[in-house]
Amino acid sequence: MSNPPKILVVDDNPDNVELLTKRLRAAGYRTAEAYDGEQALVTVAEEEPELVILDVMMPKLDGFEVCRRLKMAERTRYLPIIMLTAKREVPDKIKGLDTGADDYVTKPFNPQELMARVKSLLALRSSHEKRVTAEKLGALGQMAEGVAHEVRNPMVTIGGFARRIREKLPPGDPLRDYADHIIKEVERLETMVEEIVRFKTLLISPYETVDLRALSDEVLAGRARALEDAGVEVVRHYDPQVPVIEADGGNLRVALDNVVQNAVEAMEPGGRLTVEITAEGEWVRLEFADTGRGIPKSAIPSVFDPFYTSKMAGAGMGLTMVHRIVTRHGGEVDIASDEGQGTRVTLRLPLAQKKSI
């Protein structure tokens, strides 16, 4: 379920579009095409590319205007754009950069140079997104802690009085149903507060040697009943050469358990969870791929937010905790999803820690 970056190529010359898309696909990227400025704006909205290679001289809307509109829109403000034109005059380059273009390449271009610029801009975009996610999670975490603190006392009072009222109502009294609903919702709030407290007090213990294959098996064994009840088949692909890492095994167990729990909840009976563990130089990659309902692409930036859920119920701190645990180990978390087909959660963890966190 690999999701390499998608690049939109916009040029009114079909030969140029074909040449660029062939080179990009050969480099492992997905592509989309547009042949004028208006079509480019529509295609950006439909295809949601990670980068745009944009010709300047086009009918209907030129590249400058397309770039300006994309950079003015909130949703596409940080979309990397490479302007591509035969013009070499400095004023045209300045105009392109003034409209918000991130880079500028003149024709005829060197294919290797263009691919290098594409790779560099995609890396910058990824770095920016990770920084924004970390900052947002910090702010949301503080807000959630504040809300939990203010909610705790009223919640205890409401729950306590609701239980006492229910005890005094005779069996069959319709008011008992109302009391039951109040108690049920209070219990749900109590669970949320407990998760916030656990998130707030999450600490990295002294590091130990951790075998991620054994840890994954332990987590899957702990979820065996839930997996069986949901009719989920588990497929393991473990690289036998994966080394042990230095980590807090207890917290990593919590992270992996949350990933598996989310996967089970996202799948209909008869689904499949594939767990892959491979070595990548100084890193170990763990990939959990399910065949569940998937997540809309527009919602993926929000999946680490506290209490975000794509389900009607069950919102919690699960993926927020996964993000905190993995990043505090110096690792990375990535989520890719195809709506209606499934979700892939990838964790990358360093073999050794530079220092205690």
pLDDT (tens, 9 = 90+) of the chain, 357 residues, equals 446 889 999 999 999 899 999 999 999 999 999 999 999 999 998 888 999 999 888 888 888 899 989 988 888 888 899 988 776 655 665 665 667 788 888 777 788 888 888 988 888 877 777 676 666 666 656 666 666 667 777 888 888 898 999 888 988 888 988 898 898 888 877 777 766 666 665 655 678 899 999 999 999 999 999 999 889 999 999 999 999 999 988 889 989 998 998 899 888 788 999 999 999 989 999 999 999 988 887 778 778 776 666 553 344 567 888 888 898 888 999 988 888 889 999 999 999 866 543
What order of strands is seen across the sheet that includes strand 30-34? 30-34, 6-10, 51-55, 81-85, 103-106
Residue 246, CA distances (Å) to 29, 46, 191, 285, 351 in order:
34, 43, 32, 14, 6
Closest to 261 (Cα-Cα) out of 269, 249, 273, 250: 273
pLDDT for residue 312: 35
Predicted TM-score (pTM) of the model is 0.55
* CATH, domain 6-109, list 3.30.1650.10, 2.40.10.410, 3.10.180.10, 3.40.50.2300: 3.40.50.2300
User: Domain spans of the chain?
Assistant: 6-109, 130-200, 208-350
pLDDT for residue 284: 96
- Compute the distance between CA of residue 335 and CA of residue 345 in angstroms, rounded to an integer: 5
Paired residues of 283 in beta bridges: 280, 350
What is the residue whose two structure tokens read 């239980």?
A: 163
- Compute the distance between CA of residue 197 and CA of residue 259 in angstroms, rounded to an integer: 20
Assigned superfamily of 208-350: Histidine kinase-like ATPase, C-terminal domain (3.30.565.10)
pLDDT for residue 14: 92
